[in-house]
Structure 1
Amino acid sequence: MKALGHTDAAVLVPLFTDAAGDWNVAFTERNRDLRKHAGEISFPGGRRDPGETLLDTALREAEEEVGLPRMEVEIVGALAPVGTFVTGYRVYPFVAVINAGFDWRPQRTEVANVIELSLKDLRRGRRLRPLLGKGLPVPTITFQVDGHLIWGATARMVDQLLRRVAPIL
């Protein structure tokens, strides 16, 4: 399926292993007073600046939003772009491996919190639930883990990621 959207954006999907050797991923919980996507759980990322590659966008935004320097990021792949239905973004996800125990430094004007979740817990928390779309319930992939609800474009990215890494989980 071609990604909907008219504005290019990119996100970083930061993976790391915990002390038990299990794979985890870091998300941002967006500040509740933002104009777009307020309070939502997403990956660090944002809109592409003129003259910037999509990978540069993902790396820049991760450094700005959570303090993750590009020299500590190893890009290992990319997922298919995902569109946002309401805000019109076409989001390009770049998958990276980072060192465990990174000291997140959220930019408080944009990011309320950094949330680390295991891929195994995400896989167990996958649900198809009806969310309202234009007033009608639409079956939508969501992930419910430790009281966190991941839905929309981020859930579609997580679903892609889990399908790709299933053999190692």
Structure 2
Amino acid sequence: MVDNIKNKFKDYKPYINGAQKMKKASVLIPIVKQDGVHHILFEVRSKNLNTQPNEIAFPGGKIDPGETPLNAAIRETCEELGTDKSNVEIISPLDLLVTPMDLIIHPYLGIIHDLKQLSINEDEVDHIFLVPIKHLLENKATIYDNQIKIIPNNDFPYDIIPNKNNYKFGSGNYPVFFYSYKDYIIWGITAKILENFLNFLES
């Protein structure tokens, strides 16, 4: 028995409990240099998309079966921005983000070397815009806290747990970040990933 267990865990790489049933995506935080200043590139999603139209986002999307998170980030970036992977340099993975909506996001930090090589996929992207990294560091996010609670379904078996119907489920805090730049509001998951990156720069 023990030998069998050892064999099963020989090359095991821990990930996230329950990941098999969760959606998975990758995104890229693209750094670009323009006029001697380093910026972050953001997309405004097409208004014709079924999910999150007109939202501000990083390049990225769903990880296909058999695809690595890194390959997904590069592929989605190239598809959305209309460029070649030779124009994308990966610097590092960033912290994983697990959302309350059963989504695992693998963020990566990278460089887009030549903006002139971009040909935006208008089916997915309305337009792009650049924000100086210095602006984001000097203008902190506004944070709104939200409470996350467990709301049991009607068929939850209270009768087999301690304290029955009086059981006290824990709750958690889910902060939502808002960054502003000109007429743009960067918020939600994109802002949360951005905030994680900016914290690295300040540490």
Short-chain TM bin: 0.7 to 0.9
The alignment's TM-score, normalised by the length of structure 1, stands at 0.83
What SS does the corresponding residue of 1:32 show, helix, strand or coil?
coil
Radius of gyration: which is bigger?
2
Matches within 5 A, 1:66-145: 66-86=81-101, 88-130=102-144, 140-145=176-181
Q: RCO (CA 8 Å, sep 6+): is it higher in 1 or 2?
A: 1
Aligned to 1:29: 44
Runs of 4+, deviation exceeding 4 Å: 2-5, 131-134
Instruction: Give the conservation status (yes or no) of the 8 Å contact 2:146–2:176.
Output: no
Deviation at 1:19, TM superposition (A): 1.9
Is 1:60 matched up with 2:75? yes
What's the RMSD between the two structures over aligned residues? 2.5
Aligned to 1:42: 57
Instruction: Give the conservation status (yes or no) of the 8 Å contact 1:3–1:90.
Output: no
CA gap of 1:48–1:166, structure 2 versus 1, over 3 A, is: same
Q: Distance in 2 between matches of 1:102 and 1:124?
A: 28
Q: Distance in 2 between matches of 1:4 and 1:26?
A: 32
Q: Which has the higher helix share?
A: 2
Instruction: Give the conservation status (yes or no) of the 8 Å contact 1:126–1:141.
Output: no
CA gap of 1:139–1:7, structure 2 versus 1, over 3 A, is: closer
Aligned residues: 161
Q: Distance in 1 between matches of 2:34 and 2:141?
A: 25
Q: Distance in 2 between matches of 1:108 and 1:133?
A: 37
Aligned to 2:5: none
Instruction: Give the conservation status (yes or no) of the 8 Å contact 2:28–2:73.
Output: yes
Q: Distance in 2 between matches of 1:106 and 1:83?
A: 29
Segments of structure 1 that go 5 or more residues without pairing to the other structure are none
Deviation at 1:50, TM superposition (A): 0.8
Percent sequence identity over aligned pairs: 27
Deviation at 1:140, TM superposition (A): 2.4
Aligned to 2:154: none
Segments of structure 2 that go 5 or more residues without pairing to the other structure are 1-15, 149-173
